[in-house]
């Protein structure tokens, strides 16, 4: 009869692994932009778009964008349609309960959605 021996892992290595795992967490934000205004409405996203933890100075960086182009390019949004795009950000701190989505740009008109309540899945649907 063989005995199963549980492997021993140094405490420091386990702590480092936990840090690595939390570093790899991502936040997915599905954004709905409704064009009620005019023909030729243009949108884009800047790489300086962040999730800002409202309880700390933490900024989650934008890692990936789907179905929207990056500055300096523009894309047209059809009139009177819900246009969906997805943003993927680096992880938020575990103790974060609310965050803001902020496009920090050197001109007016950046996307800003305040006080998004954190959920357990870190997948969100928001209206911009």
Structural domain contains residue 4:
no
Domain total of the chain = 1
Structural domain contains residue 107:
yes
Structural domain contains residue 49:
yes
Structural domain contains residue 8:
no
**Per-residue pLDDT, 11:** 73
Structural domain contains residue 106:
yes
Structural domain contains residue 55:
yes
**Per-residue pLDDT, 77:** 87
CA dist 48 → 9, 36, 101 (Å): 40, 26, 11
DSSP-based helix, strand, coil % in the chain, nearest 5: 10, 45, 45
Assigned token pair, 1: 């009869």
Structural domain contains residue 16:
no
Please give the backbone phi and psi of residue 81, each rounded to the nearest 5 degrees, phi first: -135, 150
**Tens digit of pLDDT at every position of the chain (128 positions):** 555 555 566 677 656 655 554 556 899 999 999 887 677 788 999 999 999 999 999 999 999 999 999 999 999 988 877 899 999 999 999 999 999 999 999 999 899 999 999 999 999 999 98
Partners of 60 in the β-ladder: 51
Structural domain contains residue 17:
no
Entry pTM? 0.79
């Amino acid at each position: 009869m063989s005995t199963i021996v549980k492997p021993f892992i140094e405490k420091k290595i386990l702590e480092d692994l936990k840090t690595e795992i939390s570093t790899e967490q991502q936040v997915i934000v599905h954004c709905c932009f409704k064009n009620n205004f005019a023909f030729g409405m243009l949108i884009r996203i800047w790489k300086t778009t962040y999730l800002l933890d409202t309880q700390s100075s933490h900024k989650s960086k934008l890692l990936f964008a789907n179905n929207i182009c990056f500055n300096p390019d523009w894309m047209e949004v059809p009139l009177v349609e819900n246009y969906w795009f997805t943003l993927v950000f680096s992880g938020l701190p575990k103790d974060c309960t609310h965050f803001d989505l902020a496009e920090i740009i050197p001109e007016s008109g950046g996307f800003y959605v305040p006080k998004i309540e954190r959920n357990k899945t870190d997948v969100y649907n928001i209206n911009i």
